[in-house]
Structure 1
Amino acid sequence: MAEGVTGHRICCFGDSLVNGVRDSEKGGWPMRLGRRLLDEAKRETTIYNLGIRAETSEGLKTRWKFEAELRMVAEFPTILMFSFGVNDANHAEDRGEETTMRVSPAKSAANAVDIIGEASKLAPTLWIGPQAVIDGSKSSREINERLEGLNQIYAETARGFDVPYLDLHATTLADQDWQRALRRGDGYHPDRAGYDRVAELIWNWDGWKRAIGL
């Protein structure tokens, strides 16, 4: 194989769907992007998987900048990637027929403004929208309805900061491959095929291609 070309440092922030929970390859979509960059583009890119299971936008807001700056060096261009929202939309309290979100839509929107606004000043930033949970029970349908609302807020926020946004909610809600992967997982996290699918969608996205120079 020809000698690899040294590429970007890419910091991937988010929750368990970034981290790769239920992925038998133990790397989620960030690992798959790094592997394709090396195998197909001959880029020795450094991928940092900075996903934390169960983290909401509240937790992410407090840590991402510190962790990003630790990994940024002048010699290599940095790309910041974010994907969050499912834990914000998840159930915090159950009161019979009513449940509350872990993070309210207003607070999630404010956190997104803080995170993406600051990130876009620091380095080129990409935002991967939240993926749908399994389309099944009343509980999961409620989470997907909340995610649809957050997704609209996030997309509008991204436009305001001129940050590329990959809208995945409607795609993954309707995509039978993703839904089957969720059934083989736990309804929130897919098996390896689901992470393959998200990585493919990101790889073919113009926002990714422009940022990485493919």
Structure 2
Amino acid sequence: MTTGTIGHRICCFGDSLVNGVRDEEKGGWPMRLGRRLLDEAGHEVTIYNLGIRAETSEGLKARWEFEAKLRMVAEFPTILMFSFGVNDANHAEDRGEETTMRVSPAASAANAAEIIGAASKLAPTLWIGPQAVIDGSKSSQEINQRLEGLNQIYLETARGFNVPYLDLFATTLSDETWQRALRRGDGYHPNKAGYDRVAELIWEWGAVQKTIGLSSSDD
């Protein structure tokens, strides 16, 4: 394995599943990613966990660019990572109607295109697709159905901007480690084991290492 430029700054934007809610180790998958880059690749990075609990794509659209630019300096290459969607697909809290999404599919698609389109022009951008919620009650099944639709929209959007996209929906819907971690969490947020699992999937994806400039014998 070879080492690329030292000192990357990785800005991880998203919601509570980025922030690491219910993670006993704290820090979610971004913290694990930074630790693994150092321990396994000998590559020191600065991880900025910029996840906000309950945030939808509407809120993310309003803040990400300002927050990213605050952390960008010429001496250190920046990578932008995004993961959102679960809160868009969640039930509208103001109405309490299970048939109403917090953000409609059309609005979520437009927000995603605006975010990813601008981000990909600003710095190398990676997109982690939304993870499934617990496969249980009628309510959670409805959220997963919405997420399946959003995931497909996001995947096509990523292709349009030539941004690497990690499709995690089907994997996390059927993955026993993830679903068990959700059962031990609150159905939306996993315990530590779930964040371990997502971090592992991101690592196995390899797009982060490639973007940084690391390579392995498998390349």
The TM-score, its normalising length taken from structure 2, stands at 0.93
Alpha-carbon separation, structure 1, partners of 2:208 and 2:74: 21
Alpha-carbon separation, structure 2, partners of 1:179 and 1:13: 23
In structure 2, the partner of 1:115 is 115
Which digits, 9 at most, give the CA deviation of each residue in 1:40-76, with x for residues without a partner? 1111100000000000000000000000000000001
Any idea what SS the aligned residue of 2:74 has? coil
In structure 2, the partner of 1:139 is 139
Kindly indicate which of the two structures has a greater share of residues assigned to strand: 1
Alpha-carbon separation, structure 2, partners of 1:209 and 1:144: 30
Alpha-carbon separation, structure 1, partners of 2:208 and 2:201: 10
Alpha-carbon separation, structure 2, partners of 1:42 and 1:207: 17
Report the more deviating stretch, 5-14 or 32-41: 5-14
Alpha-carbon separation, structure 2, partners of 1:44 and 1:205: 19
Report the number of matched residues: 208
**Deviation for aligned residue 1:38:** 1.1
In structure 1, what residue type is equivalent to 2:205?
A: W
Any idea what SS the aligned residue of 1:44 has? coil
Alpha-carbon separation, structure 1, partners of 2:49 and 2:25: 13
In structure 2, what residue type is equivalent to 1:94?
A: G
**Deviation for aligned residue 1:142:** 0.1
Alpha-carbon separation, structure 1, partners of 2:129 and 2:71: 24
**Deviation for aligned residue 1:108:** 0.1
Alpha-carbon separation, structure 2, partners of 1:24 and 1:99: 33
In structure 1, what residue type is equivalent to 2:59?
A: G
In structure 2, the partner of 1:102 is 102
In structure 1, the partner of 2:189 is 189
RMSD of Structure 2 on Structure 1 (CA): 1.0
In structure 1, the partner of 2:164 is 164
Alpha-carbon separation, structure 1, partners of 2:14 and 2:145: 20
- Find out whether 1:79 has 2:42 as its counterpart: no
In structure 1, what residue type is equivalent to 2:136?
A: G
Unaligned runs of 5+ in 1: none
In structure 1, what residue type is equivalent to 2:35?
A: R
In structure 2, the partner of 1:204 is 204
Alpha-carbon separation, structure 1, partners of 2:54 and 2:175: 24
